[in-house]
Amino acid sequence: MARAGLAAERVVRAGAELADEIGFERVTPSELARKLGIKTASLYSHVKNAHDLKTRIALLALEELADQASAAIAGRAGRDALGAFANAYRDYAFQHPGRFAAARFRLDAATAAASAGPRHSRMTRALLRGYDLPELQETHAVRLLGSVFNGYVELEMAGSFSHSAPSSEESWTEILDALDSLLRNWPASSS
Amino acid sequence: MARAGLAAERVVRAGAELADEIGFERVTPSELARKLGIKTASLYSHVKNAHDLKTRIALLALEELADQASAAIAGRAGRDALGAFANAYRDYAFQHPGRFAAARFRLDAATAAASAGPRHSRMTRALLRGYDLPELQETHAVRLLGSVFNGYVELEMAGSFSHSAPSSEESWTEILDALDSLLRNWPASSS
DNA sequence: TACGTTTGCCTAATGGTCTTAGGCAAATTA
DNA sequence: TAATTTGCCTAAGACCATTAGGCAAACGTA
């Protein structure tokens, strides 16, 4: 039949689809086996256990997320790149809510270091080259952007912005403008 | 036979402690019953089910969080208030990681509206009165601050900032300075 | 083509989970 | 003191994660 590893990858991909359908936190061996039309115990030849399954889905999602971001910033700079990068992140979250939740799954340090997470982080740094930040401030700015994108999408998906005006869409644009402005006028360190 | 003397509220408080000890996502009826020294089934006279238990812990955490924030901004304004407000949030997360995770538990719309969440949001708005924002931009700024605090603490607790220089502490201060600067020089809407 | 190996699924069994139902004795109230 | 409520119990059903051992079909190789 197929080579070793191919089947495992298929299982993980099905797990990612399942996450988008029913939510990442509800992805379990039994639920995935049901979707695949096999017995639960049969999954254990492809995946070590429930935690391993979730970890693999998380790694897949991080990879996809980094790919999207990479495509988004290619050939752009400044506000344009900032918007494209941020939108890639947010759009992915809405198109693949389960995978997006998977991308936020807590990985142990070693696994995280080997994931596409650092790649995403390097892209954020590349994005900032379009702005003229004091070198020491660059890391702070990277962390700020990560925090905003992360936090905004999480709150938005939780519905925090959906029951009051103005629209979340509008806030998102204004916030990107504000961040662009801030990056152009980053305050000198007080220390 | 000696009674454990449990009222529903006591059960919830024990649940909150348990969350801080083992993590919110691992708080379950059986685990909580173990901590209380009673049988799992006995919990069901105090709490409707596992989801109800988690919801009640979340409501408790949101209340505590709003109290901390309220105490923090009393008598302060501007950068001072911003820092105190943000630190109240972050400190709570580190002192009570399980409760903090509980505060981010997805509540249905009605429950969320009746929680202390809106109170916390109103305080953010009060904080912004110290800055001179165009009225239409105030909501955008509220959402930005919520996103940053939320996102930063989440990433920090996940360890994202702990394996590289500069220290997370330093970034936190710089980011608060940057936000203060941004709120003082909020860009005019482009639309 | 024939043969041993690998692969992908199976059944069976263990021990844990959540939840409901019904019961009993202590604490509280009248 | 008598009646009611409270806080726990045992029992049981359904579901879940995981391990162990087995079997048949597909594969690579001689």
- All structural domains of chain A with their residue ranges: 6-184
Q: What is the pLDDT of residue A4?
A: 46
A35 touches strand D (CB under 7 A): no
Residue among A188, A127, A179, A123 nearest A149 (CA): A179
Which pLDDT tens digit goes with each residue over A15-57? 999 999 999 999 999 999 999 999 999 999 999 999 999 999 9
How is A29-46 classified by DSSP, letter by letter? HHHHHHHHTS-GGGGGGT
**DSSP class of residue B105?**
S
Least confident of A1-15, A156-170, B7-21, B95-109: A1-15
CA distance A95 to B184: 36
Instruction: Return the CATH superfamily for domain B58-184.
Output: Tetracycline Repressor, domain 2 (1.10.357.10)
Judge whether residue A3 has pLDDT over 80. no
- Helix locations, chain A, DSSP H: 6-22, 29-36, 50-73, 78-95, 97-103, 109-113, 117-128, 135-157, 168-184
Looking at the domain that runs over A6-184, which CATH code has it been given? 1.10.357.10
Higher-confidence residue of B91 and A191: namely: B91
- Output the distance from A42 CA to C15 C1' rounded to whole Å: 19
Nucleotide nearest to B33 (CA to C1'): D8
Q: Which residues contact residue A83 at a Cβ distance below 8 angstroms, ignoring those fewer than 6 apart?
A: A176
Cα within 13 Å of Cα(A8), Cβ side: 15
Neighbours of A56 (CB within 10 A): 22
As a whole number, the mean pLDDT across chain B is 94
- Mean of the pLDDT values across residues B170-180? 97
Residues 37-96 of A with CB under 7 A from strand D: 40-41, 44, 48-51
pLDDT digits over A58-103, tens only?
999 999 999 999 999 999 999 999 999 999 999 999 999 999 999 9
Task: Please report, rounded to whole angstroms, the spatial distance between the CA atom of protein residue A174 and the C1' atom of nucleotide C20.
Answer: 52
Tell me the pLDDT of chain A averaged across its residues: 94
pLDDT category at B158 given cuts 50, 70, 90 is very high
Mean pLDDT of A140-147: 98
> A144 vs B182: CB contact, 8 Å cut-off?
no
Give me B69's structure tokens: 């924030």
D6 C1' – B46 CA distance, angstroms?
A: 11
Confidence of residue B160 (pLDDT cuts 50, 70, 90): very high
For residue B117, what is the enclosing H or E element? helix B117-128
Percent of chain B with pLDDT over 70: 96
> Cβ separation of B177 and A185 shorter than 8 Å?
no
Q: What is the pLDDT of residues B113-144, one digit of tens each?
A: 999 999 999 999 999 999 989 988 999 999 99
Q: Show Cβ contacts of residue B153 under 8 Å, excluding neighbours closer than 6 positions.
A: B89, B90, B93, B100
pLDDT value for A189 = 77
Count of A-B CB contacts under 8 Å: 131
Distance of CA A44 to the CA centre of its chain: 27
For residue A112, the chain B residue with the least C-alpha distance is B160
- Of all nucleotides in the shown strands, which has a C1' nearest the CA of B51? C18
Residue B166 CA to residue A33 CA, distance in Å, equals 45
| Confidence band of A163 (pLDDT split at 50, 70, 90) | confident
